[in-house]
Amino acid sequence: MAQADNDDLINVIEEDEKQETIPETMPLMPVRDVVIFTDMLLPLFVGRRQTVRAVEEAVSKDGFLMLATQKDPNSESPGPNDIYAMGTIGRVLKMLKLPDGRVKALVQGITKAKITGYVKVKPWYRVKVEVLKEERMQETDMETQAMMRAVRDISEKILTLRGEMNNEVKSVLDSIREPGKLADLVGSNLRLKLEESQKLLEILNPIDRLRKINHLLVRELEFSAVQAKIQSDVREEISKNQRDYFLREQVRAIHRELGDPDDKAQEIKEYEKKIKRAKMSRAAHEESHKQLKRLEQMHPESGESSIIRNYLDWLTDMPWKKSTKDVINIKEAKKILDDGHHGLDKIKDRILEYLSVRKLNPKTKGPILCFVGPPGVGKTSLGKAIAKAVKRKFVRISLGGVRDEAEIRGHRRTYLGALPGRILQGLKQCGVNNPVFMMDEIDKLSSDFRGDPSSALLEALDPEQNVEFSDHYLSLPFDLSKVMFILTANITDTIPSALRDRMEIIRLSGYTEEEKLTIAEKHLLPKQIKENGLKPKRTSLPSDVIVKIIREYTSESGLRNLERELANLCRKIARKIAEGQKGLFAITRSDLETYLGVSKFSPEMDQEESQTGLAT
C-alpha cells in the first residue's frame, strides 16, 4: 500500500461498497503483468497519459474502474483486441499524483465483469460492462470442506518453504469460509503465468475454481520444495566455503607470526621465476602474467585455480626458444645411414642431399619428407637415423586411427581435463623446439563429426603457416618452423590431396632376397642372439638356413616376420640350454622343421611353359 502525507491523498469512496450502485459504463484501465481478482488490494503506478486520464475520471465521479489485463505486457498502446474481455471492476480508494506526472493509485477488486463494448476510445477508454454474478457458496458438503482444507494446508507449506508464513497469514486463511474467495485469495498470491491467472479468473464456478487452485498448488509445492533445497544447498556451500576461507586465513596468519613462508605467495613467486626462465614470446609472456594475477586473486582450492595452474605449467614448460644446435657432417651421416640400413641407396642419397642443403642454408624451408612403403622396410628407423645424423632429438607419434581434430590442435580450456594437441605434447616431452618429428601412419587418418585432423595438419606442416601454429589449448601462436617433420605411410591413395601436395614422397620398395640375407646376418641374428642370452660361439646359423627361412617361412616386403622367425629359433635354443644341453647348436636346413614347424610357404615353381589352370 502506498504511504504518503494526508494532504497529498485524495480519499475517493467510503468503505462500504455495498451501498453503491455499479454503473453500466466506466473508464477502463489496461494493466500489465498482473491479473486483479476480487477483494484484491493493490497499489498501481500509472504512467501512460491515456490511463492517467481514465483514473482521474473515475476519481472525479464514483471511483469505479474496469481493470482488465492486456495480452502483451510490452505494448504501449493496446487496442481493444489487445485487452482481455474479462476482468475485475475495481474501486480507486486513494490516488497520489507524483511530480513526474505519473499517478499512484490504490485499487481494490470488487466483482468480476465482462467488457461488452467500447463506448469511447479517445482520449481514454470508456467501456460498457456486464457484472458476472457467481453463487456464494458456504463450505457445506464434505468434499468442499476437504478441498478447502487441502488448499489451506498446501498454501501454508508453500509459505513456510518461502519463509513467509506467520500467525496473521494463518488467521486470514482460516477465516475464509467461501470456496470462491479462498480460491481468489490464493490465486492472487501464487506466482502464476499471466495466461494461467487469466484462465483462473474466467472460471465462474467457485468449486471448479477451487479445484483448479488445488491442482496449481500441488505443482507450486513441488517447485517450492526444489527451490528451497537448491537455496539450502547453496547456503551450505557458501557457509562451508566461508568457514574454510576463514580457517585458512587464520592458518596463514599463524604461519606469518611464526615466520613460516606463505604457501600461496611462495607459489606465485615460483611461477614468476618459471615465466622469466621460459623465455616466452611476447604474447605468451603477457598472457602468463594475466593468468598469474587471476590465480593470485583466487581461492587456492577452487576448480578454476587448478585449471590456471595447469595452463601456466604448460606455458612455462614449452620450449619457446630452447633448441639444439645442428651439427651436420655429411660423411658421418652417410656412415650412420649405411650402418643402420643395407641397400636403399637412392633413398639414402636423397636424404644426404636434403641434409647438405640444410647445412649450407639452415634457414631454408625444406620439403616435408614422406617415406612410403610396406611395413617393415625401415621407414621409422630412417627417421631415427636422420635425427642421429644431425644430432637432434627424435619425437615419434602414431596417427593411425586418429579422427578427432583435437588430437592435433588440442582441446579448448573450457573442457574438463583439456590438454594441448599431440604436436605440442611431443615438443614439451623432448624439451626443444627443433626436433626431428616423425608422424607415423599418416595414411590412416580419418575424420568424423569431431572434425578433420588432416586439415589441422595442413597448418602444422605448411612452412608458410607453421611460424604461428595455433593450438586450441594454449590459444597462442607457437613457432614450428624449426621442426624437421618426417612422415610415413604404407600407401598414398588415402592421404588427402591437400596434405599430399605439401610432401615429397620417397618410396621404399621391398628388400631383395640377397639384401634380406645380408641384413639378417649383420643385424637381425646378432640382435636376437644377444636378446635371448645366447653366445655367438655356441650358435651357428649358416646362410643356406637363413635363405630357407626367408623363402619358406616368410612372405613379405620388409623384415618383421623374418626377425620374428629368428627370434623364435633363438628361444628354442635358449630353452635347450636352460634344460642343461651343452655343445654347439649348429642349425641345418633339415632342423628347421623341428624348430619352426612345417614350412608356411612353398617355393615358387618355375615353369618353362604355361600350363592350363596353373598360375606361378
**Whole-number mean pLDDT of the chain?**
83
pLDDT above 50: residue 607: no
Domain 513-596 has CATH 3.40.50.920: no
CB atoms within 10 A of CB 285: 17
Residue the block writes with cell 582441446: 411
Q: How confident is the model at residue 261, as a pLDDT?
A: 58
Among the listed ranges 10-14, 187-191, 416-420, 447-451, which one has the minimum average pLDDT value?
Answer: 10-14
Matching CATH number, 6-131, of 3.40.50.300, 2.30.130.40, 2.40.30.10, 2.40.50.100: 2.30.130.40
Q: How confident is the model at residue 301, as a pLDDT?
A: 72
- Give one DSSP letter per residue of 538-605, joined into a string: GEE--HHHHHHHHHHT---SSSHHHHHHHHHHHHHHHHHHHTT--S-EE--GGGHHHHH-S-SSPPP-
Among the listed ranges 136-150, 181-195, 411-425, 493-507, which one has the minimum average pLDDT value?
Answer: 136-150
pTM metric for this prediction: 0.53
- The gap from C-alpha 508 to its chain's centroid, in whole angstroms, comes to 43
Q: What are the C-alpha distances in Å from 595 to residues 447, 554, 571, 589?
A: 46, 15, 10, 10
Cis peptide before 123 (omega within 30 of 0): yes
The grid coordinates of residue 304 equal 578454476
Domain parsing of the chain, residue ranges: 6-131, 263-317, 330-507, 513-596
Contact by Cβ (8 Å): 541, 525: yes
**What confidence tier does 137 reach under pLDDT thresholds 50, 70, 90?**
low
pLDDT above 50: residue 519: yes
Q: What is the arithmetic mean of pLDDT over 387-407?
A: 86
Q: What are the C-alpha distances in Å from 378 to residues 381, 400, 506, 558?
A: 5, 17, 12, 8
Q: What percent of the chain has pLDDT over 70?
A: 91
pLDDT tens digits along 167-176: 888 888 888 8
Q: How confident is the model at residue 395, as a pLDDT?
A: 92
CA angle centred on 409, ends 405 and 413, rounded to 5°? 105
CATH T-level fold of 330-507: Rossmann fold (3.40.50)
CB atoms within 10 A of CB 201: 23
Q: How confident is the model at residue 394, as a pLDDT?
A: 92
Q: What is the arithmetic mean of pLDDT over 257-261?
A: 62
Q: Which helix (H) or strand (E) holds 230?
A: helix 206-258
Conformational region of residue 13, where left means phi above 0, alpha means psi within -120 to 50, and beta covers everything else: beta
pLDDT above 80: residue 615: no
Report d(CA 29, CA 37) in Å as an integer. Answer: 14
The grid coordinates of residue 24 equal 453500466
Give, as one character, the DSSP assignment of residue 62.
Answer: T
Q: How confident is the model at residue 187, as a pLDDT?
A: 83
Report d(CA 321, CA 551) in Å as an integer. Answer: 52
pLDDT tens digits along 340-372: 777 778 888 888 888 888 888 877 777 888 998
Q: Greatest CA separation found in the chain? A: 132
pLDDT top residue among 95 and 376: 95
The grid coordinates of residue 46 equal 500509472
Q: Virtual CA dihedral for 413, 415, 418, 424, nearest 10 degrees?
A: -50
Report d(CA 315, CA 490) in Å as an integer. Answer: 36
Q: How confident is the model at residue 17, as a pLDDT?
A: 41
pLDDT above 80: residue 32: yes
Contact by Cβ (8 Å): 499, 408: no
9-13 LR contacts (CB < 8 Å, sep 24+): 9/94, 9/95, 9/96, 10/59, 10/94, 10/95, 10/96, 11/93, 11/94, 12/59, 12/63, 12/91, 12/92, 12/93, 12/94, 12/95, 13/62, 13/63, 13/91, 13/92, 13/93
